[in-house]
Chains A and B, each alone.
Chain A
Amino acid sequence: MSDKPFTDALEDLASGASGGPQSASPYGEAADASTHESVAALVARFGSAVQHHAIMAGDEHVVRVPASRVMEILRWLRDDPAQRYDYLADLTAVDWGGGRPIDVVYQLWSIPHRRGLRLKAALPLDALEIDSASLLWRTADWLEREVWDMFGVRFRGHPDPRRILMPESYAEGHPLRKDFPLRGRFSRAEQTRRALAMPVHEHYSAQEIAVATETEAHARREPGESP
């Protein structure tokens, strides 16, 4: 692969051609489940739901699971006394481009057992929907909003499924998708006009507006006057 021109290598990558014997599986070489206690336990309990297990960068264990069973597996990983993954360090997604599925990534850490595990669930582009993990870890609330905002993945059962980084009226799509043009879909003039026409409630959540309204009402009240 090293003597190929760079563009040829890119074409290979795009067409899914193998870059060498080590990348026979697109998810990396399958690892032995017994190298990680939680992976071994997952295989014992969920069997074929553990679709693939690989070790990345030395000691990072990556487990691929079907999106339909992700909630069940996450709940078990959090609650089982031998696992106790009580800390969701990160929840993000990867768009591989070229019409391939988008991966939703859960980066877990077990504080009592000092053990980390990464879960990945693939979602085909025509069914970008997965169960929300925000009932298991509160931190998933904003992380899932970010994944929705940037990749367009819907989270079933999310308590507040709004965008988080882009304004709510953002009409150009989901910016971290591979097919999203770097400078956006609209012209700069259109983007500027839309930005300046943004109403105030798109900057603030309903709670923030409620607090501001109450504060203003309080300031207008006479001393001793009841609300």
Chain B
Amino acid sequence: MGLSLPTVPSGEANFLTTRLDYVVNWARRNSLWPMPFGTACCAIEMMAAAASKYDLARFGMERMSFSPRQADLLICAGRVAYKMAPVLRRIWDQMPQPKWSISMGACASSGGVFDVYSMVQGIDTIIPVDVYIPGCPPRPEGLIYGILMLHEKIKGESLSNPALREEDPSRVGEPNLPDGVIEELALPYGNSTNQNKVSGLVTTTALTRPADRKP
């Protein structure tokens, strides 16, 4: 056809030079197999991103892996209840290295509007997160932008940095962050009126009848 390749005389060595990091990262980022962890409306946008119009297959994400053992990328799309937290953590622990994770949407990233007793305030308290995608829910373009940002991140990784892939087996099933950081992350930022940092001392003066308050 129109393409002409230089012919290599038979019997001669044919070689290509590159940096090992470059070729490994190229292979990794172009064949990310996502493990979808869809719990809410964000998952609908994730499915839209995987469908024909937005077509995640363009990025080597042809196969949504419903087994964590054959997945590289955990996409947590939607709110995560505390009852779901050990499930999310176990799925992450079951994924083999190299692995990355995307926190898709406001609820997965910060708890969103659900600043309540039953909701995890950001999945980074449970598992490490590489890319946070804002939005409620983010459009498929948002998810794709997040995936491309992850591609950029993977480009910059190096095989000579073992810290990137290190996991402490004794921390399996443990919270991802120290207590103080979890408390700080869970501070109310305006989405819950008149609340204190320590949840036991909460008073919702604006909305609660005085007689309902604890003495």
Are A166 and B87 in contact, with the CB atoms below 8 A?
no
Are A97 and B179 in contact, with the CB atoms below 8 A?
no
Are B202 and A183 in contact, with the CB atoms below 8 A?
yes
Complex: A180 Cα to B199 Cα, angstroms: 10
Are A14 and B83 in contact, with the CB atoms below 8 A?
no
With known contacts A99-B211, A175-B117, A181–B202 Cβ distance under 8 A:
yes
Are B86 and A195 in contact, with the CB atoms below 8 A?
yes
**B91 CB, min distance to chain A CBs, angstroms:** 13
**Among candidates B85, B198, B210, residue contacting A14 with C-beta atoms closer than 8 Å:** B210
With known contacts A14-B210, A14-B211, A183–B199 Cβ distance under 8 A:
yes
Chain A contact residues: over half helix, strand or loop, or mixed? Answer: loop
Are B211 and A15 in contact, with the CB atoms below 8 A?
yes
Are B209 and A10 in contact, with the CB atoms below 8 A?
yes
Complex: A94 Cα to B127 Cα, angstroms: 38
Tell me the chain A residues, 183-198 only, with Cβ under 8 Å from chain B: 183-198
Complex: A195 Cα to B174 Cα, angstroms: 10
Per-residue interface assignment for chain B, residues 175 to 212, with 1 indicating a CB less than 8 Å from any chain A CB and 0 otherwise = 10001101101101000100100111110100011111
**Among candidates A97, A188, A195, residue contacting B212 with C-beta atoms closer than 8 Å:** A97
Complex: A13 Cα to B121 Cα, angstroms: 34
Are A183 and B195 in contact, with the CB atoms below 8 A?
yes
Inter-chain contacts of B186 with A (CB < 8 A): 183, 188
With known contacts A189-B182, A196-B85, A182–B115 Cβ distance under 8 A:
yes
Chain B contact residues: over half helix, strand or loop, or mixed? Answer: loop
**Among candidates B87, B175, B201, B211, residue contacting A192 with C-beta atoms closer than 8 Å:** B175
**B48 CB, min distance to chain A CBs, angstroms:** 30
Query: What is the interface size of chain A, counting residues whose CB is below 8 A from a CB of the partner?
Result: 34
Are A186 and B210 in contact, with the CB atoms below 8 A?
no
Complex: A171 Cα to B180 Cα, angstroms: 22
With known contacts A182-B192, A187-B183, A98–B85 Cβ distance under 8 A:
no
Confirm or deny: A216 has a beta carbon within 8 angstroms of a beta carbon on chain B. Answer: no
Are B125 and A192 in contact, with the CB atoms below 8 A?
yes
Inter-chain contacts of A194 with B (CB < 8 A): 82
Confirm or deny: A37 has a beta carbon within 8 angstroms of a beta carbon on chain B. Answer: no
Complex: A182 Cα to B115 Cα, angstroms: 8
Confirm or deny: B173 has a beta carbon within 8 angstroms of a beta carbon on chain A. Answer: yes
Per-residue interface assignment for chain A, residues 1 to 28, with 1 indicating a CB less than 8 Å from any chain B CB and 0 otherwise = 0000000001101110000000000000
**Among candidates A10, A187, A192, residue contacting B210 with C-beta atoms closer than 8 Å:** A10
Instruction: Specify which of B82, B120, B200, B213 lies most central, judged by the most chain A CB atoms within 10 Å of its CB.
Output: B82
Are B83 and A195 in contact, with the CB atoms below 8 A?
yes
Are A14 and B182 in contact, with the CB atoms below 8 A?
no
Are B82 and A185 in contact, with the CB atoms below 8 A?
no
Confirm or deny: B126 has a beta carbon within 8 angstroms of a beta carbon on chain A. Answer: yes
Confirm or deny: B118 has a beta carbon within 8 angstroms of a beta carbon on chain A. Answer: yes
Tell me the chain B residues, 134-169 only, with Cβ under 8 Å from chain A: none
Q: Name the CB-closest residue of B to A16.
A: B211
Are A192 and B85 in contact, with the CB atoms below 8 A?
yes
Complex: A190 Cα to B200 Cα, angstroms: 12
Confirm or deny: A79 has a beta carbon within 8 angstroms of a beta carbon on chain B. Answer: no
Apart from the given pairs A14-B211, A97-B212, A183-B115, 11 other A-B contacts in the complex at a CB distance below 8 Å: A10-B209, A11-B209, A182-B116, A185-B200, A188-B185, A189-B175, A190-B179, A196-B89, A196-B173, A197-B173, A198-B86
Which 9 pairs across A and B sit closest by C-beta, in order of nearness? A184-B117, A98-B211, A97-B212, A14-B211, A189-B179, A188-B186, A183-B199, A195-B82, A181-B202
Chain A interface residues toward B at CB < 8 A = 10-11, 13-15, 97-99, 166-167, 172, 175, 178-198, 203
